[in-house]
Amino acid sequence: MSTMTDPPKADFRLSMLINDTRYRSLTFQVIAAVAIALSIWYLGNNLIQNLRAAGLNISYSFLGDPAGYDINQRLIEYDSQSSHARAAIVGILNTLLVAVLACITATFFGVFAGVLRLSNNWLVSKLMAIYVEIFRNIPVLIWILIIFFIVTAAMPAPRAYLGEQAERDLVLGLFAFTNRGIYVPSPFFTNGFGAEGGSAVNWLVVIAVLILSHFATRFVNKNAQIKQEQTGNRPNTLLLNGLIWLVPLVAVLFILGLSWDFPDPLANRFNLRGGLQIGAPLIALWFALSIYTGAFIAENVRAGIQAINKGQTEAAAALGLRQGRIMNLVILPQALRVIIPPLISQYLNITKNSSLAIAVGYADITATLGGITLNQTGRAIECVLLMMLFYLTASLLISTGMNIYNASVKLKER
Amino acid sequence: MKKSVFLGAATIAGLAAGAAVAGTVDDVKARGTLNCGVTTGLVGFAAPDANGEWKGFDVSLCRAVAAAVLGDANAVEFVPTTGKTRFTALASGEIDMLARNTTWTFSRDVDLKFEFTGINYYDGQGFLAPKALGVSSAKELDGATVCVQTGTTTELNLADFFRSNNISYEPVPVETNAEGQQQYLAGACDVYTTDASGLAATRATFESPGDHVILPEIISKEPLGPLVRHGDHEWGDVVRWTLNALIAAEELGVTSANLEDMSGNPEANPEVKRLLGTEGTLGEMLGLDADWAARAIAADGNYGEIFAKNIGEETPIGLARGLNGQWTDGGLLYAPPFR
């Protein structure tokens, strides 16, 4: 018979913090943490003291003052008498606009080039390789400038379209391509909510209708799926879905009184009036960001596809699936879980790289809050802190959203 | 973002440095060079010439201050600044003085904690337009696209002018004069607005200056002058009185050519003697030696000479003295007495 004895209970001694491997790493971590906290405190304190000595205090009251400057691209109502805070919001919206547009087109370019780079067609795959290597190896700022110069040099000045005897007519009577931007007809509502039907509520109504249509078609498809599983025959839903999308949309647009505002070459001697102007800076920035980041996404897509075992393609082919369906049904769904995580970083890069906008005079948050407001008020620290806060928030929101999507497509482990 | 963060960091670092530093006069003497902030390039005011040597109206003021303090008009490190970076550069101590056609305004003087040490050019904001546009007045610019340097008073005056005349415009923000010129010539904007002197200087560099007109309206007062950090009064006095010495020298007829004769002449006007340090102890009061002003004038000449050489009617820029004449000639230049 053996007796169990407790291991001898060692008394804790202070020297064990250094000599005992169980505690040593903890000791060093605590020391490091204290050192880091102290240096941050020292730097922060130093900053505050020096600011006070220089007679500058951190204050955000300037945000309420009239900005005094004008901005060329405004998604919301803004004039020079609006506050600095509103100018910052105009900038934020412009940043978000170009970031969202560029994310969508960059994904399109990336997937397109990434898939085609693996094509068996020698010419196509080499062309895509050249695209990727050229665009991702030249800094994005240079692309922005080059594209802006091309846009401004290749297109005529607006004056060419102006007056009774214009050098050029509007393309189809609707569009004008000038070195200051592209003019297109813009929709508006004659019968909608708000003063003269100009409220943003109208667009929300339209979007709400589209979302409802989306859910209605999902419901229809689900029923068709159930029926297919029960009877083996899938009812044709194409017509029904088409009606669900079209009829409510047409109805709501008709009720709101949709109308179009066309660019008018006669109203002003300097520029076209009316219509929607897509400014040259926006075009340059949008296109440069999408084509540059698209090259990176193409490589992610290629890596994702090549990560899928060749046996998958062969097995799918053995089942009799055709080339396109193999890609859509077998390869891409599996490749997505490799593609999505680096794609998140690319979306974050687009958002942050959009701060290069000032190079072409695009009024993003860096140009309004971090540029003009900072200069006119001299509140450098406050403005920079606010910008950091904005970019941090925007980036974290994007990565949260994308992580949720990633969780839904990643390999389900059971 | 990158640039602004850098600027913010520079401000923070600079404020930390600025607080530790005592007197700029001693710093400049110890360093042996004057760090002078100028534009990134505006012909006539500050721009490197074909040999890479900085030349211009503002540059000459930097050289005069360097000559007064250090005895060497070439002991100047020129730091090109944009409308956006200039104040941070000065506040951070990167430059000792800013001579960059900067408008003296209340908020810059009071709120930004700078000290304007005088006015070396009385300017006003104007518009430059192609003759082909057929515009004869700025009030006809309704709907025009306007290039404007961002971070300047010009930007605010522009907004005020169009608002008070109830007409609309689209701004195209540019960073530097060179960028503005390029955008204007490419037709990205209909008119270019900045200080009238700057417009004249810019137009002078065009291939065919005759195809462009400066519109008659001057929409603002733009007193341009050198500035230093608030609080260092000894340094502020040195810059202020160097500028005054150049102006007084013109008024008293002291030029770089007759400087030797004047200082050797016992019959000279007593004020000239005090200015040139042959009488009195003005230099000592300023913490410099007796012939500080003589050296400043010797550097590039008196105010009138500097004006004529860089931006006067003989130069391609061709600016008339106008408001910038001596008070005795109906201008606004009026140096306080040297006594």
Each domain of chain A, given as residue ranges in start order, spans 84-185+262-409, 186-261
Asked if residue B337 belongs to a domain, the reply is no
Single-letter amino acid code for the residue at A375: N
Most confidently modeled range among A224-238, A325-339, B75-89, B299-313:
B299-313
Q: List, for chain A, all residue ranges whose pLDDT scores fall below the cut of 50.
A: none
> Residues 6 or more apart from A198 whose CB is under 8 A from it?
A188, A189, A192
Residue A5's pLDDT is 64
B168, B189, B220 — which closes off a domain?
Answer: B220
pLDDT digits (tens, 9 = 90+) for B198-235: 898 888 888 888 899 998 888 999 899 999 998 899 99
Residue ending a domain, choose from B220, B240, B256: B220
Question: Residue B61 is part of which domain span?
Answer: 2-122+223-329
Q: Is residue B336 part of a domain?
A: no
Verify whether the Cβ–Cβ distance A381 to B145 is below 8 Å. Answer: no
Fold observed for domain A84-185+262-409:
MetI-like fold (1.10.3720)
Residue with tokens 């201008």, as numbered in its chain = B331
Residues of B within 8 A of A180 (CB-CB) are: 145, 188
Q: Which residue has the higher pLDDT, B293 or B265?
A: B293
Rounded percentage of chain B residues whose pLDDT exceeds 70 = 94
Taking the Cβ of residue A45 and every Cβ of chain B, the question of whether any pair is shorter than 8 Å is answered with no
Positive or negative CA dihedral for A155, A161, A165, A169? positive
Task: Return left, alpha or beta for A261; rule: phi > 0 is left, psi -120 to 50 is alpha, else beta.
Answer: beta
DSSP A170: P
Q: How far is A124 from chain B (nearest CA, A)?
A: 37
Q: B50 in contact with A at a CB cutoff of 8 Å? A: no
Q: What are the backbone dihedrals phi and psi of residue B136, each rounded to the nearest 5 degrees, phi first?
A: -115, -10
Quote the pLDDT of residue A324: 84
Which residues on A lie below 8 Å from B155 (Cβ)?
69, 372, 376
Alpha helix ranges (H) inside B92-195: 106-110, 153-164, 177-186
Domain C-terminal end among B173, B188, B220: B220
- A-chain residues near B111 (CB < 8 A): 377-378
Question: What pLDDT score does A328 carry?
Answer: 85
Instruction: Find chain A residues with C-beta within 8 A of B5's C-beta.
Output: 384, 387-388
pLDDT at B62 over 50: yes
Strand-pair partners of B191:
B146
| pLDDT for B210 | 87
Statement to judge: residues B252 and B289 lie in one domain: yes
The predicted pLDDT at position A7 comes to 63
Distance between CA atoms of residues A352 and B300, nearest Å: 48
Provide CB contacts within 8 A for B19, sequence distance 6+.
Answer: A49, A50, A53, A54
| DSSP type of residue A277 | E
In a domain, B339, yes or no: no
| B214 plus B313 within the same structural domain | no
In this prediction, residue A96 carries a pLDDT of 93
pLDDT tens profile B233-245: 999 999 999 999 9
Interchain contact, B5 vs A384, CB within 8 Å: yes
Rg over CA atoms, chain B: 21
* Chain A (352-411) residues lying within 8 Å, Cβ to Cβ, of chain B: 352, 355, 358, 361, 363, 366-367, 370-372, 374-378, 380-381, 383-385, 387-388, 391
DSSP code of residue A413: P
B203 and B254 belong to one structural domain: no
Cβ contacts below 8 Å, chain A against chain B, sum to 137
CB B64 within 8 A of CB B297: yes
Q: Is residue B190 part of a domain?
A: yes
Give the residue on B whose Cα is nearest the Cα of A351.
B1
Together in a domain, B291 and B171? no
A387, A370 Cβ separation under 8 angstroms: yes
Beta B76-81 vs B34-39: how paired, if at all? parallel
Please check whether residues B95 and B178 belong to one and the same domain.
Answer: no
C-alpha distance from residue A294 to each of A290, A297, A302, A339 (Å): 6, 5, 12, 13
Partners of A384 on chain B (C-beta within 8 Å) are: 4-5, 7-8
Mutation target for B interface from A69, A145, A271, A381: give the one with most B CBs within 10 A: A69
- When pLDDT is cut at 50, 70 and 90, the band that residue B22 belongs to is low
B155 touches chain A (CB under 8 A): yes
B12, A381: Cβ pair inside 8 Å? yes
Residues β-bridged to residue A273: A264
With respect to residue B334, please indicate whether it lies within any of the assigned structural domains: no
Pair (B228, B112) in one structural domain: yes
- Which CATH number do you get for residue B37? 3.40.190.10
Rg (alpha carbons) of chain A, rounded to whole number: 29
Check whether residue B14 and residue B116 sit in a common domain.
yes
How many other β-carbons are positioned within 10 Å of the β-carbon of residue B83? 26
Regarding whether B167 and B22 lie in a shared domain, the answer is no
| Chain A residues 282-341 with CB within 8 Å of chain B | none
Contact call for A80 and B18, based on CB within 8 A: no
B143 part of contact set with chain A, CB < 8 Å: yes
| B205 and B283 together in one domain | no
List residues bridging with B148 in a β-sheet. B173, B193
* Structure tokens that stand for B284 in this block: 């000592």
Chain B residues touching residue A366 (CB < 8 angstroms): 1, 4
3-state SS, one letter per residue, for B67-79:
HHHHCCCCCEEEE
Please tell me the predicted confidence (pLDDT) of residue B3. 45
Contact B315, B300 (CB under 8 A): no
Q: Is the pLDDT of residue B10 over 50?
A: no
Q: Nearest residue of B to residue A375 by CA position?
A: B151
Q: Give the minimum alpha-carbon distance from A319 to chain B in angstroms, rounded to a whole number.
A: 53
CA distance B115 to B232: 9
Q: What is the pLDDT of residue B1?
A: 41
Pick the residue from chain A with its C-alpha nearest to B9. A381
Nearest to B87 among A46, A49, A378 (CB): A378
Confidence of residue B18 (pLDDT cuts 50, 70, 90): very low
pLDDT value of residue B19 = 42
Residue B335 placed within a domain: no
Which among A53, A71, A13, A47 has a CA at the least distance from the CA of A373?
A71
Check CB contact under 8 Å for A69 and B11: no
> Which pLDDT value is given to residue A196?
63
Domain count, chain B: 2
Q: Quick one: B141 and B158 in the same domain?
A: yes
Q: What percent of chain B has pLDDT over 90?
A: 50
B 102-141 residues inside an 8 A Cβ radius of A: 107-108, 111-113, 133, 141
* Identity of the amino acid at A188: F
Report pLDDT for A353.
92
- B157 contacts B131 by C-beta, under 8 angstroms: no
- Of all helices (H) and strands (E), which one includes residue B81? strand B76-81
Question: Looking at residue B20, what is its pLDDT?
Answer: 41
Asked if A152 and B187 come within 8 Å (Cβ–Cβ), the reply is yes
Q: Which of residues 161-180 of B touch A (CB under 8 A)?
A: 162-163, 169-175
pLDDT in tens, A236-266: 888 888 888 888 888 888 887 777 777 777 7
Q: How far is A214 from chain B (nearest CA, A)?
A: 39
Question: Is the same domain home to B7 and B49?
Answer: yes
Q: Are residues B88 and B133 in the same domain?
A: no
A40 in helix, strand or coil?
helix
Find out whether A293 and A102 touch, Cβ atoms under 8 Å.
yes
